[in-house]
Amino acid sequence: MTGYAAITGWGKCVPPAILTNDDIASVIDTSDEWIRTRSGIRERRVSHVPGSDLAAVAAQRALAAADADVNDVDLLIIATCTPDTVIPSTAAHVQRKIGAYNAAVFDLNAGCSGFVYSLSVATSMIRSGAFKKAVVIGSERITWFLNWSLRDTAVLFGDGAGAVVVESSEQESGLLYSHLGCEGDAAEALQIPNFGTAGNRFVDDYGVFGVQFDGREIFRRAVKGMAKETKIVLNELGLTDDDIDRIIPHQANLRIIESLAKHLSIDMSKVEVNIQNYGNTSAATIPVAMVEALEAGRIKPGDRILLAAFGAGLTRAAGLVRWGDRTTPLQTSDAELPPCNQTALEILAEAIKHTL
């Protein structure tokens, strides 16, 4: 290991079309009250473009915040479980869109834990000395995969992307330690069946594919799994709950976040929560919440920030980030998504028609 891997830039991109709970209640049997009280979600975003577009804008904003030249990026990892295409990787699309042609690029699918997994991989690759400057992105267009006849699942997800720039540094900062795991015995608790080589694509009625889950099983395993990984990370670093300045947890359900905080005896005032605005954007929740915490001045130089996630797999992950000296961007980017001239319900109309 040589030195550290500091986070020097950050950016997010959420699509403009907003889907409220009432919008959903106008097409399926649910209510704003049920969704709010069971999950904490009030609204989410629906993308009018492929996930790589969201990722590219988030990455360009992160590069500007770091005042980094895209030609110096030698590694680009995108955490996504909703790729634009199976071949090529979403990372290849993003490389083309931002012009990062000197980078090794790949997708990493660890479901909603994907960003913590990817940050861990990028940090190790930089600390090994083999790479110098990475862009790590969490980006999802998960509304594209929803089955609107499964109301427990369909109401929880939204689209978005967040990105960070990670650079080799001598200062003790960035991801100091992480621990990753998976509970493959419960792999089927969260899945998109009928999609991929396990299926028979030559049957007449290939069927509808969409995200489905066993909500209660995931809820139980999520709290236990994140608490377990978190304790491993704190023990390894010789820290206690009191040493944590902020927690940025995966945003899947407000009640899961509250249970985790209780488990760790950490006050909710230290916990980043934005699920009310975006729902579960899978691998994008943590980087988006990190960007919003920085923009709102809730991250201070030297802060110890705990990341905790779980997701399809069922993966689980935790990591401890020591923030560096700078909490403001060096530059801003003028990167923008193409304009959207549809409402969220209009974007989803066909998906709702075919899956309901």
Ligand X SMILES: CC(C)(COP(=O)(O)OP(=O)(O)OC[C@H]1O[C@@H](n2cnc3c(N)ncnc32)[C@H](O)[C@@H]1OP(=O)(O)O)[C@@H](O)C(=O)NCCC(=O)NCCS
Amino acid identity of 329?
P
Segment contacting ligand X (CB under 6 A): 69-77, 212-220, 225-233, 291-299? 212-220
H-only helix segments in 249-305: 254-263, 275-278, 285-295
Set 13, 81, 112, 182: catalytic member: 112
R_g (Cα) of the chain, nearest Å: 19
Based on the residue annotation, tell me whether 81 is a catalytic residue of this protein.
no
Nearest residue to ligand X, by Cβ distance, number only: 215
With beta carbons less than 8 A apart as the criterion, state whether 7 and 324 touch. yes
Question: Among 208, 215, 333, 345, which residue interacts with ligand X (rule: CB under 6 A)?
Answer: 215
Omega before residue 314 within 30° of 0, cis: yes
The torsion of the CA quartet 160, 47, 35, 137, rounded to 10 degrees, works out to: -10
Scored b (16 or more CB within 10 A) or e, 40-77 reads: bbbbbbbbbbbbbbbbbbbbbbbbbbbebebeebbbbb
Q: Count the residues of the shown chain that bind ligand X, applying the rule CB under 6 A.
A: 19
Based on the residue annotation, tell me whether 13 is a catalytic residue of this protein.
no
- By CB under 6 A, tell whether 175 contacts ligand X: no
- By CB under 6 A, tell whether 181 contacts ligand X: no
- By CB under 6 A, tell whether 146 contacts ligand X: no
CA dihedral for 91, 49, 12, 209, sign (positive or negative) = negative
- By CB under 6 A, tell whether 253 contacts ligand X: yes
Cβ within 8 Å of residue 296, ≥6 positions away: none
- By CB under 6 A, tell whether 156 contacts ligand X: yes
- By CB under 6 A, tell whether 190 contacts ligand X: yes
Cβ within 8 Å of residue 272, ≥6 positions away: 246, 247, 248, 249, 289, 290, 292, 293, 298
- By CB under 6 A, tell whether 315 contacts ligand X: no
- By CB under 6 A, tell whether 308 contacts ligand X: no
Mark 44-83 with x for binding to ligand X (rule: CB under 6 A) and - for no binding.
Answer: ----------------------------------------
- By CB under 6 A, tell whether 38 contacts ligand X: yes
H helix or E strand, kind and range, residue 333: none
Q: Which two tokens stand for residue 278?
A: 């975006």
Segment contacting ligand X (CB under 6 A): 53-61, 191-199, 211-219, 239-247? 211-219
Question: Among 311, 313, 319, 324, which residue interacts with ligand X (rule: CB under 6 A)?
Answer: 311
Question: Among 21, 30, 109, 173, which residue interacts with ligand X (rule: CB under 6 A)?
Answer: 30
C-beta closer to ligand X: residue 152 or 241: 152
With beta carbons less than 8 A apart as the criterion, state whether 160 and 278 touch. yes
Interface residues with ligand X (CB under 6 A) are 30, 34, 38-39, 112, 151-152, 155-156, 190, 213, 215-216, 218-219, 252-253, 280, 311
Q: Which residues are designated catalytic?
A: 112, 250, 280
